[in-house]
Amino acid sequence: MDMASVIDRERVDMKELADYSDGPALISARLTEVDGSPRVALAWDDGAETALPPIWLRDHCPCDSCRHATSRERLFKIIDAEVGVPSVSLDNGVLALTWPDGHESRFDSVWLHQRRPGQHRFQPQVPAARAWREGFMPEHVAHADFTAGNDGQRRWLEALIRDGLVLLDNGPTELDEVVRIAESIGPMRATNFGARFDVQSKPNPNNAAYTAIELELHTDLPNWRNPPDIQLLYCLENDAEGGASTFADGFAVAEAMRHEAPKHFAMLAETPIDLRFQDDGHDIAVREPIIRVDDHGELREIRFNNWIRDAIDVAPDQIEDWYAAYCDFWARLRAPRYRADFELAPGQMIAFDNRRVLHGRGEFNPNTGKRHLQGCYLDYDMVESKLRVLAR
């Protein structure tokens, strides 16, 4: 590419925060027809080509009357417009269109190249999920690096999205540090346990986490229509004997079951069950399968929590098959192949994808020392949003 032409050609404010400062130059723009319908045919100097319907271009006009100057939100209402076919020209590297009603639109060449339909690449990319291998241990990021600037936060966010689990090390043992970390990413997700919760043994608990007993691997709040996405757990004190943390990659377990025991996988993916939490002030219930896949068969979430399964209400001739599949999944969760076990130290925080990674802990003896963790939840949208902002 001739870099001089990139620098010299006119640029257009597309009301876009993502970078489009560098890229191919438009070398031709003309009206054509495809199957009898008008198209604006564009070609760039890197060989890329596209043919856009006029309605797409009219809908994406970036001028101040079509896009708000500061919010960048669309003001133009395509339903109220008679679009028609514009006149087309290439003006100093800019696509210039004049519509039948006299409205003029100008488009930046690089923005058009990035956004041409069918590429699916104009959104900043987030890491793909990566299944845990045997012996997996989460990535560690120093608390000082996280708070110092973009690089530490990016490493932490990328590991969380990629592996579903990441550690933050050597932080202060101050109350509500987990809140400060969470709010640097986005607002906390409140539940019936509040926005921030304390995980410690307490009298009259309304949740098994608030006892000293062993916690089998589970996901939190699967009884909600939309369970929390990301959980942060910050260790303030951990002097008690026992209580080692354990985690398992639920997606890796589900994929193994799909290939090795497809009938069991289908049973857990296609059979909804009742999940319910009750205490004096709440009764939150939902009916969903343990494994959820999307329309393309991709795994989307695991809902596994033995404490809050309600009575199993499936067809009588399916009951034994359902329990066989359920126990198969549970047994696989216990296999070392899919697990990571370690002790959390004071000043250390674990973050994990609650819809993918199951968590638990060993029994501990509260008479041998104090154990105090603080936790909260974040929406996955906020995690991806923060990573996209840092990428900008």
- Residue 154 pLDDT greater than 60, yes or no: yes
Mean pLDDT of 107-118: 93
For residue 97, the model assigns a pLDDT of: 98
Neighbours of 225 (CB within 10 A): 9
What type of residue sits at position 245? S
- Residue 258 pLDDT greater than 90, yes or no: yes
Same domain, 111 and 155: no
Q: Domain for residue 132, yes or no?
A: no
Tell me whether strands 139-142 and 165-169 are parallel, antiparallel or unpaired: parallel
The model's confidence at residue 126, banded by pLDDT at 50, 70 and 90, is confident
Same domain, 172 and 97: no
Q: How far from chain centre, in Å, is Cα 148?
A: 24
For residue 204, the model assigns a pLDDT of: 63
What's the distance, Cα to Cα, between the start and end of the chain in Å?
A: 24
Same domain, 354 and 293: yes
Greatest pairwise CA separation for the chain in angstroms: 81
Mean pLDDT of 98-127: 88
For residue 5, the model assigns a pLDDT of: 43
Tell me how far apart the alpha carbons of residues 164 and 229 are, in angstroms, rounded to a whole number. 10
Domain range for 363: 139-391
Question: What total number of domains does the chain contain?
Answer: 2
Tell me how far apart the alpha carbons of residues 27 and 25 are, in angstroms, rounded to a whole number. 6
Q: Looking at residue 85, which CATH number applies to its domain?
A: 3.30.2020.30
Burial class from Cβ neighbours inside 10 Å (0-12, 13-18, 19+) for residue 185 reads buried
Same domain, 352 and 387: yes
Same domain, 28 and 74: yes
- Residue 1 pLDDT greater than 50, yes or no: no
For residue 207, the model assigns a pLDDT of: 67
Same domain, 60 and 192: no
Burial class from Cβ neighbours inside 10 Å (0-12, 13-18, 19+) for residue 277 reads buried
For residue 4, the model assigns a pLDDT of: 38
Q: Domain for residue 39, yes or no?
A: yes
Q: Which of 7-11, 99-103, 263-267 has the lowest mean pLDDT?
A: 7-11
- Residue 123 pLDDT greater than 80, yes or no: no
Q: Domain for residue 128, yes or no?
A: no
The more confidently predicted of residues 240 and 165 is: 165
Same domain, 99 and 146: no
For residue 6, the model assigns a pLDDT of: 46
Q: Looking at residue 169, which CATH number applies to its domain?
A: 3.60.130.10
What type of residue sits at position 191? T
Q: Which of 305, 316, 391, 321 shows the shortest CA–CA distance to 355?
A: 305
